[in-house]
Amino acid sequence: MLTLDRVSKVYKVGAFGGTELPAVRDVSFTIAPGEVVSLIGESGSGKSTIGKMILRLIGINGGIITLGDTNVATLKGAALRDYYREVQGVFQDPFSSCNPIFKVEHIFSLVRGVYFHSLSGAEWRSKVAEALGAVALEPGQVLHKYPHQLSGGQLQRLLVARALLLDTKILVADEIISMLDASTRIDVLNLLGELKSRGLGILFITHDLSLGNYISEKTVILRRGRVVEMGETSKVFGNPTHPYTRMLIASVPQLHKRWGDEAIADPGPCRVHAASPSGPAGTALLVEVEPDHSVACFRIDEGVPC
């Protein structure tokens, strides 16, 4: 179980880092084994920053990320290496995730050098074959090829296989199918579904609401670094409460329903305000609207009480 508790990140930008840009503010959620959590937000909402913080690619400025009982931020050396045994990431552009002058075989053997130097050649090969089998690739057809000789979908599945070589428990999938064609992206998405049933916890970062809705159990909607609404996917999509979520869902192009001119239904009064009339406005405080479905203050970004 990976837990984020009021995690924040501030980027220092501008000349000499004089300006502070809060990218993620007080985000809390958990990823349990066998669960796909989709993290949905528009560009600049901080969704990739959250993925990078989980993968320890950047530091955090506030809050705590824990895997089981371990605080992720303080891991060093061998402990960090063990953390990466359990938490792995796959990113948007599969071609830039691979060294173009290495064959696939060699890309895999880099993992062996760090984690599996005690395995014999035969054991290693069967391990690779098993990981490739899990993503429906034939070892014989891909191992001796260079990345550019594979299609985007094949390469993306290959990278998932590389992450699976370890005893991965949590996979951070950052926009992994945005670059793929419609005909192949669904296969990679279904692959995530199969991995989930094998007990993997997956953080599926995307800007595409229909993909998030298709694959995930839990949805977190981000806006400007803050969680505006989160909960069980069917509840967030079936009964969107925050005006921002409603606007997003109404903007999604559907296949059998055209964009209507009708106004988005009135969300009613702010639930945070209704729950605690004197409560602080503009904080990351979430209020439960139904079991497993909570929403933030409707005017969370404006800093004024609603």
Partner 1 sequence: MSLQVNDLRVYYRTLAGDVKALDGVTFEIADGEIMGLAGESGCGKTTLGNSLVLLDGRMKQVGGTVMLDGAPLPIADFNEMRHFRYRDISIIPQYAMSALNPTRKIGKMIGELLESRDVRYREIRPELERRLGLVGLGLDVLQRYPIELSGGMKQRMVMVVSTLLDPSLLIADEITSALDVSSQKAVAQALQSFRDQKFVRSMIVVTHDVSILYQIADTLAVMYAGKLAEKAATDVMMQRAKHPYTRMLIASLPEVGVRYTEHKLTGIAGTPPSLLNPPTGCRFRDRCPLAIEQCAEEPPFVEVEPGHSVACWRADDVAAPKDSVA
**Among 71, 126, 141, 251, contact with partner 1 (rule: CB under 8 A):** 251
Among residues 34, 133, 193, 280, the one that binds partner 1 under rule CB under 8 A = 193
Written as one string, the DSSP assignment of 23-86 is EEEEEEEEE-TT-EEEEE--TTSSHHHHHHHHTTSS--SEEEEEETTEEGGG--HHHHHHHHHH
Sheet containing strand 87-90, strands side by side: 87-90, 170-174, 201-206, 36-40, 218-223, 226-232, 293-296, 286-290
Beta carbons within 8 Å of 284's beta carbon, 6+ residues apart: 6, 25, 26, 27, 28, 226, 227, 296, 300
Cβ atoms of residues 204 and 48 within 8 Å: no
Q: Is 28 in the site for partner 1 (CB under 8 A)?
A: no
Judged by CB under 8 A, does residue 98 bind partner 1?
no
| Closest of 255, 273, 300 to residue 25, by C-alpha | 300
Least distance to partner 1, CB of residue 65, Å: 27
Residue choice 55, 155, 215, 236 for contact with partner 1 (CB under 8 A): 215
Q: Under the criterion CB under 8 A, does residue 19 sit at the interface with partner 1?
A: no
Indicate which single residue of 129, 214, 287, 301 sits in contact with partner 1 (rule: CB under 8 A): 214
92 binds partner 1 (CB under 8 A): no
Handedness of CA 189, 193, 198, 202 (dihedral sign): positive
Q: Where are the alpha helices (DSSP H) in 137-181?
A: 139-142, 152-164
Q: Under the criterion CB under 8 A, does residue 173 sit at the interface with partner 1?
A: no
Choosing from 28, 70, 184, 283, the residue that interacts with partner 1 (CB under 8 A) is: 184
How many residues touch partner 1 under the rule CB under 8 A: the total is 36
Least distance between partner 1 and beta carbon 237 (Å): 6
**Sheet-wide strand order for 62-67:** 19-31, 2-13, 62-67, 70-71
Residues between 29 and 68 with contacts to partner 1, criterion CB under 8 A = 42-43
Cα–Cα distance for residue pair 104/102, rounded to 1 Å: 6
Least distance (Å) between residue 13 CB and partner 1: 15
Distance in Å, CB of 180 to partner 1, minimum: 9
CB 283 to partner 1: min, Å: 24
Number of Cβ atoms within 10 Å of the Cβ of 287: 17
Tell which one of 76, 117, 148, 258 touches partner 1 (CB under 8 A): 258
Scanning 74-82, 155-163, 187-195, 266-274 for contacts with partner 1 by CB under 8 A, the matching segment is 187-195
How would you classify the pairing of strands 19-31 and 2-13?
antiparallel
CB of 204 to partner 1, least distance (A): 11
Residue 254 interacting with partner 1 (CB under 8 A): yes
Residues that bind partner 1 in the complex, under the rule CB under 8 A: 42-43, 151-152, 181-187, 189-190, 193, 207-211, 213-215, 233-234, 237, 247-249, 251-256, 258-259
